[in-house]
Amino acid sequence: MKCEDLVAYLSEYIDNDLNEALTAEAQLHLATCHNCRVVLDTTQKMILIYRRQQRQAIPAARRQRLFTQLQSAFLNKSEPTP
């Protein structure tokens, strides 16, 4: 699994809605990819913070802009050199 694939399946992974094969691939990727672990951890923390706050709907256009910016930043990340 590549980073882009993990991002595409991230919501389903967090919700435990992936089939066994994809879950295993995601777990293997997360075990070896620091950047994706950070994305997963940050996303889970954001969900927790959101659930603790009063529920307020984010307008669809704003939510899409935010998702697009996050996805663009993640896909354009530079790989650290060892």
- pTM, 2 dp: 0.60
Domain boundaries, the chain: 3-66
Reported as half-sphere exposure (CB side, CA atoms, 13 A), residue 79 has a value of 5
pLDDT at 82 over 70: no
pLDDT tens string 26-58 = 999 999 999 999 999 999 998 888 877 766 778
